[in-house]
Amino acid sequence: MFQNSHSQRRPLVLGAAKTCVGHTELAAGLVGVLKALASFKYGAVPGLMHLTETNMNPAIDCGVVPVHIPHETVSLPSKPDQTPQYGLVL
């Protein structure tokens, strides 16, 4: 799905709400949507709470899709007005 949509210059930024609010059970989808909307509103994706540069799983292969899993807050690239931004909540 994302194989040809991103590049090393513009990687797919992955985030997770679960690291901040825990298991939300029935509200998990809503929490994910709210996090995605807040990321677009503020132009940044917060880093994963317990992730550091040293504890990232080395078995994760980012070769097929250029992926960035942030351990610190990452700014989203700015887009011209009226250009849609996309997010996916799973």
Q: 42 pLDDT band (50/70/90 cuts)?
A: very high
Other C-beta atoms closer than 10 Å to the C-beta of 19 total 13
* Domain residue spans of the chain: 12-75
Q: 73 pLDDT band (50/70/90 cuts)?
A: very high
CB-based contacts of 25: which residues, under 8 Å, 6+ apart?
none
Range among 1-5, 14-18, 68-72, 77-81 rated most confident: 68-72
Mean per-residue pLDDT over the chain, rounded: 82
Distance CA 25, CA 3 (A): 30
pLDDT at 37 (0 to 100): 92
